[in-house]
Structure 1
Amino acid sequence: MKVGMMRKSGSWQSVWDDRILEYLREKGPAGATTMKKSDYFDISRGQISDRLGKLRDHHLVQEIENGVYRITDRGEAYLDEEYDAASGAYIAESSENSDVRASEKDSI
């Protein structure tokens, strides 16, 4: 984790989303039932399933078979503070694009 940086979560995210992503990165592909049985979560299996669906909708996890999910490259980048879930853009891309726009303004 970079010093002084924070994960950029979206307004659609819940407090459990980071924990779900961390679990998938550490333990590998899993479904809501397996996650609930792990005692890593203090929410219901249904809530975990709902959050997995929301994370899938935002491309942070991918369903690889019926109800089993894996973390995606975007999910990894989010955990590493390299992806802004609010804007749906990689942070390096955002800062590079800002630098390009700033240099374009400077040349005018």
Structure 2
Amino acid sequence: MRQSGTWMTIWDDRILEIIRAEEGGRVGDLADRDSVRISASSVSRRCQKLAEHGLLRDLGNGVYVITEEGKAYLDEEYDAEAGAYMDAGENSGPTAGGRERTNG
């Protein structure tokens, strides 16, 4: 189950999914989609918020790409509220519980 942040909205997952599938996205193009039913200004605000929290990276001119954390969030490996990986696995970052994973 994805661990969304209290700061997130229902549209954030959809925006992340589209940007991941298309290897990037422009705010205007996202807002024009039938599956995203919010205005371009709302898409822009959501992308900015996702970038502030490290799930997207702003390339400028309203273009965003997904980060490794954004991919991990979609894959249910990253806790957006805690801003941490839930399972260290191949990632070297801390887990949401502050424990490192050990094998054995």
Shorter-chain TM-score: what band?
0.7 to 0.9
1:1-108 equivalences under 5 Å are 6-93=1-88, 94=95, 97=99
With normalisation by structure 1, the TM-score equals 0.81
SS for the counterpart of 1:64 is strand
Distance 1:64 1:56 in 2: 10
Aligned residues: 95
Which has the greater radius of gyration?
1
With normalisation by structure 2, the TM-score equals 0.84
What percent identity do the matched residue pairs reach?
43
Q: Pick the structure with more helix per residue.
A: 1
1:75: Cα distance to partner? 0.1
Contact 2:87 2:101 in 1 (8 A): no
Distance 1:60 1:11 in 2: 14
1:83: Cα distance to partner? 0.3
CA RMSD of aligned residues (A): 1.8
Distance 2:98 2:6 in 1: 24
Distance 2:100 2:33 in 1: 43
Q: Note the alpha carbon deviations across 1:43-93, whole angstroms, 9 max, x for none.
A: 111110000000000000001132100000000000000000010000013
Gap runs ≥5 in structure 1 = 1-5, 101-108
Gap runs ≥5 in structure 2 = 89-94
Find runs of 4+ consecutive structure 1 residues off by over 4 angstroms: none
Larger RCO of the pair (alpha carbons < 8 Å, separation 6+): 1
Aligned to 2:91: none
Distance 1:73 1:42 in 2: 26
Distance 1:74 1:66 in 2: 22
